[in-house]
Structure 1
């Protein structure tokens, strides 16, 4: 049974296994990884996890874990600033060997609950125009298509999800 957990140094090896499966580059959406992050060394990994923790007032990062494996990551940006206007409130990624199991929908549902608890009521989600799996996941969880925009990474689809107020 998977769970959503805060980033932790205890899963360094498991995270590196997931990272290696994606292949070279920084394309694991939902992890908050930047070119400046050194995730290979224990000290660098610890610094990266600390940075993610320090950013928790602006962004909630969660890893999708099952047993001792990291299956993916998801990030919830709390404010619609310039960055979120480009990439969306929520970004997520599932490692290739764990795809087609419903993990992205499950994790997105959990983060939508988190957004509701934070008082957010309308969220922007953006995915590559060719990423049918992400678009389907977003639509399945209530995403309403807005438009396709050209970005520095190519065309991107934009969706809005309106959240009902929290039940009392």
Structure 2
């Protein structure tokens, strides 16, 4: 199973293990770029991120930020004992940059938990949530050389549109 949960300090131990597992790799969907310093696998860093992400839900037109919801991906049904294994950011609308490169959804699964179907299930859950927000076509992108992510998007119903600025762009229709 795979679930999307709102960031919470109660998942600190597995969140820290996930952050450590990524190492220097970019954690798409994590929201770590909202911090003034690099993300570290410490309880203080986790608390700071949880607090910042709770504030980043609404749009900030002056900064170019759109309304979004940050989720942590867990391996299970989202109960308190689940393990955090990744991140997903659902953007409620698109600005110019997101339309060209970023898309509605950014996600990543920690290296140790890849190739287990979690990315595909998390993407499907994110697309369903987008549909609940009234988004009738969800844009999801990946780097042109990220073949596993392209396969994940395609297996999740992504219809390839084109490549822009090194990003493959796909549209997915949420379930009715």
Q: Which has the higher strand share?
A: 1
137, 140, 148: which one pairs with 2:163? 148
Aligned counterpart, 2:63: none
Structure 1 unmatched runs, 5+? none
The corresponding residue for 1:7 is 7
User: Is it true that 1:136 corresponds to 2:151 in the alignment?
Assistant: yes
CA distance in 1, matches of 2:138, 2:5: 22
Q: Which aligned runs of 4 or more in structure 1 are off by greater than 6 angstroms?
A: none
Cα shift readout 1:91-118 (whole Å, capped 9, x = no counterpart):
1101111011110111111111111111
Deviation of 1:38 (Å) = 5.2
Higher RCO (CA < 8 A, seq sep 6+): 2
Partner of 2:31: 32
Task: Tell me how many residue pairs correspond in the alignment.
Answer: 160
CA distance in 2, matches of 1:91, 1:22: 16
Flag the 1:133–1:122 CA change in 2: closer, same or farther, 3 A: same
* Secondary structure in structure 1 of the residue aligned to 2:32: coil
Question: Equivalent residue of 1:76, what SS?
Answer: strand
**1:28-107 alignment runs, 5 A limit:** 28-34=27-33, 36-37=36-37, 39-40=39-40, 41-57=42-58, 58-66=67-75, 67-85=81-99, 86-107=101-122
CA distance in 1, matches of 2:159, 2:143: 15
Q: Which runs of 5+ in 2 are unaligned?
A: 59-66, 76-80
Q: Which moved more, 1:63-72 or 1:102-111?
A: 63-72
Provide the rounded CA distance (Å) in 1 between the counterparts of 2:169 and 2:160.
Answer: 6
TM-score for the superposition, normalised by structure 1: 0.86
